[in-house]
């Protein structure tokens, strides 16, 4: 049975009674109001989960009442307008004020029930999303005084005032999602949801339903794209979408409307798209492994997020930030990072970028006892000390063929380079990933693309 408390506001007694009976038969709790004054009082008393609001009423019309509620603290629940004489201007004004949908008179009871169900589901998802946002750390403003971060911060602040789609490129762990969250919170969409789509974590068999939702026998399941309506959609590692989903996503973004799996009618999509990738999308497009039309849809404004080793002067400031953060959030003992420790960490290559630094600080606060972090703790946490000085590669018999196109020459070098590094790590793919600063999943894909048989002597550790 359905659940939820519905407030029905209509000056026609027959309609109030009919809608009340139908909704109650479906399991909803229903309150009715014959005018704006009664609606104000009931809304104050019962805090409904959804409101059905007639536009034309004798004392105060529904649009005026909707504006009043919207301006006095916002709408706490979805409002569905009922209209027998609606115009385009009325619909536009109600939508601007936050109305969820319209139901026209004479009422179609099937459509009424479906609209109420969708409104309650959208409201539930929004509350859950807001709850998750409260559990997450405050979106991290770009921290650091380096020239690279000053330039990135200035770009993001300009973009916050626009609804432009953007594509963030940068290594894994460089903080792309934190930047996207911060941009969302600075934008006009901050009151809407921030929904992350991580293709690599979605089961392939259910990817379409997860993204686009589904309809079956009147039951509607909202997908991630629809859950982001009115807010921001973050596409993490977008290159991991399979070709079929790339095509469907491109079509959806082009039309600004989606069709649920099993559905027939398009559903409007109002989202700001922020895509991200650690891979070279230009190369993937050239190789035919990423759809060109989707690439240019997402790449309205491209932004490069620097790796931590490219702004190493920001390390002391980041250490201070995360020491404060974990001390406050997790009630861990606060510890000081002295200058010697800061200098050691400024000279560390940070293959895992911000994620690695954050985890290191958390580990040192959990395991350490002294007020100051000591060098030997840091060396142990980093895996036993600084790596030996790197020697240039010699004797590999590798000569660059200057007659090759740049992409082919680069692939030729990458293959020789990774094979040599794989030998140095004794065939350990895990050590190779750390050595070259790549996530293991991306490294496997790179080795496969270069024709390197990782099964022939390679180890997982």
Q: Name the architecture of domain 309-382.
A: Orthogonal Bundle (1.10)
CA-to-CA separations, 301 to 162, 175, 296, in angstroms, rounded: 11, 18, 10
**What are 302's two structure tokens?**
């491209």
The pLDDT of residue 416 is 83
Quote the CA–CA distance of 23 and 29 in Å, as a whole number: 8
Taking only the tens of pLDDT, the chain with its 461 residues reads 567 899 999 999 999 999 999 999 999 999 999 999 999 888 867 778 899 999 988 888 899 999 888 876 567 789 999 887 666 777 778 888 888 988 888 888 888 999 999 998 888 777 666 655 544 454 467 889 999 999 999 999 999 999 999 999 999 999 999 999 999 999 999 888 899 998 887 877 788 999 998 877 655 678 899 889 889 999 999 999 989 999 999 999 999 999 989 888 888 889 999 999 999 999 999 999 999 999 999 999 999 999 999 999 999 999 999 999 999 888 899 999 999 999 999 999 999 999 999 999 999 999 888 999 999 999 999 975 444 444 444 444 556 556 566 666 777 788 888 888 887 777 788 788 878 777 777 777 778 777 776 655 455 55
Asked if residue 106 has a cis previous peptide bond (ω within 30° of 0), the answer is yes
User: What fold is seen in the domain 147-304?
Assistant: Rossmann fold (3.40.50)
**What one-character-per-residue DSSP string does 73-135 give?**
T--SS-EEEEESS--HHHHHHHHHTT--EEEESSP-HHHHHHHHHHHHHHHHHHHHHHHHHHH
What residue has token string 């009871």? Answer: 109
Domains 5-132 and 147-304 share a fold: yes
CB 203 within 8 A of CB 243: no
Phi, psi of 304, deg, nearest 5: -95, 125
What residue has token string 């115009």? Answer: 87
Q: pTM of the full predicted structure?
A: 0.58
CA-to-CA separations, 172 to 45, 179, 343, 352, 396, in angstroms, rounded: 50, 13, 24, 7, 30
Q: What is the CATH number of domain 399-461?
A: 1.10.10.60
- Give the strands of the sheet with 232-235, arranged side by side: 194-197, 232-235, 272-277, 166-169, 301-304
The pLDDT of residue 218 is 54
The enclosing H or E element of 44 equals helix 36-46
Q: Residue ranges per domain, the chain?
A: 5-132, 147-304, 309-382, 399-461
CA-to-CA separations, 57 to 13, 45, 309, in angstroms, rounded: 12, 22, 65
CB 324 within 8 A of CB 316: no
Pairing status of strand 214-216 against strand 219-221: antiparallel
Q: Give the CA dihedral 33, 35, 39, 41, nearest 10 degrees.
A: -100
Pairing status of strand 79-83 against strand 101-104: parallel
Q: Taking Cα atoms as reference points, which of 156, 443, 197 lies closest to residue 305?
A: 156
**What are 415's two structure tokens?**
């293959």
CA-to-CA separations, 165 to 200, 232, 274, 303, in angstroms, rounded: 22, 10, 6, 11
The pLDDT of residue 284 is 94
Q: How crowded is residue 392: how many other Cβ atoms within 10 Å of its Cβ?
A: 4
The pLDDT of residue 386 is 44
Quote the CA–CA distance of 332 and 247 in Å, as a whole number: 47
Q: Is 89 exposed, middle or buried (0-12, 13-18, 19+ CB in 10 A)?
A: exposed
Q: Name the architecture of domain 5-132.
A: 3-Layer(aba) Sandwich (3.40)
Torsion-angle region of 401 (φ positive above 0: left; ψ -120 to 50: alpha; else: beta): beta
């Amino acid at each position: 049975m359905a659940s939820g408390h519905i407030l029905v506001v209509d000056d026609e007694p027959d309609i109030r009674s009919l809608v009340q009976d139908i909704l109650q038969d479906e399991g909803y709790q229903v309150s009715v109001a014959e005018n704006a004054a009664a609606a104000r009082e009931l809304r104050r008393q019962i805090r409904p989960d959804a409101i059905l609001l007639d536009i034309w009423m004798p004392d105060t019309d529904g649009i005026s009442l909707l504006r009043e509620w919207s301006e006095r603290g916002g709408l706490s629940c979805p409002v569905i307008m009922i209209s027998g004489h609606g115009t385009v201007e009325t619909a536009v004004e109600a939508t601007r004020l936050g109305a969820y949908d319209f139901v026209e008179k004479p009422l179609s009871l099937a459509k009424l029930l479906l609209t109420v169900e969708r409104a309650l589901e959208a409201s539930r998802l929004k509350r859950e999303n807001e709850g998750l946002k409260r559990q997450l750390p405050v979106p991290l403003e770009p921290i650091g005084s380096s020239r690279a971060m000053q330039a990135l911060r200035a770009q993001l602040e300009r973009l916050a005032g626009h609804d432009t789609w953007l594509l963030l490129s940068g290594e894994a762990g460089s903080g792309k999602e934190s930047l996207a969250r911060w941009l969302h919170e600075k934008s006009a969409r901050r009151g809407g949801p921030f929904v992350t789509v991580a293709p690599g974590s979605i089961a392939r068999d259910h990817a379409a339903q997860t993204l686009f939702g589904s309809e079956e026998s009147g039951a509607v399941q909202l997908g991630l794209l629809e859950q982001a309506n009115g807010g921001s959609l973050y596409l993490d590692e977008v290159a991991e979408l399979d070709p079929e989903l790339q095509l469907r996503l491109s079509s959806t973004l082009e039309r600004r409307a989606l069709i649920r799996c099993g559905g027939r009618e398009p559903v409007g999509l109002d989202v700001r798209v922020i895509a991200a990738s650690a891979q070279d999308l230009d190369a993937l497009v050239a190789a035919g492994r990423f759809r060109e039309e989707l690439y240019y849809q997402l790449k309205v404004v491209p932004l490069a997020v620097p790796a931590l080793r490219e702004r190493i002067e920001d390390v002391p400031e980041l250490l201070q930030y995360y020491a404060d953060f974990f001390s406050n959030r997790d009630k861990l003992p606060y510890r000081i990072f002295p200058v010697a420790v800061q200098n050691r960490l400024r000279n560390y290559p940070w293959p895992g970028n911000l994620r690695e630094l954050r985890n290191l600080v958390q580990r040192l606060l959990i395991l350490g006892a002294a007020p100051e972090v000591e060098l030997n703790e840091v060396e142990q946490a980093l895996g036993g000390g600084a790596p030996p000085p790197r020697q240039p590669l010699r004797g590999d018999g590798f000569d660059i063929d200057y007659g090759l196109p740049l992409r082919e020459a680069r692939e030729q070098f990458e293959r020789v380079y990774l094979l040599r590094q794989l030998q140095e790590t004794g065939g350990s793919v895990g050590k190779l990933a750390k050595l070259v600063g790549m996530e293991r999943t991306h490294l496997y894909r790179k080795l496969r693309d270069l024709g390197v048989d990782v099964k022939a002597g390679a180890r997982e550790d």
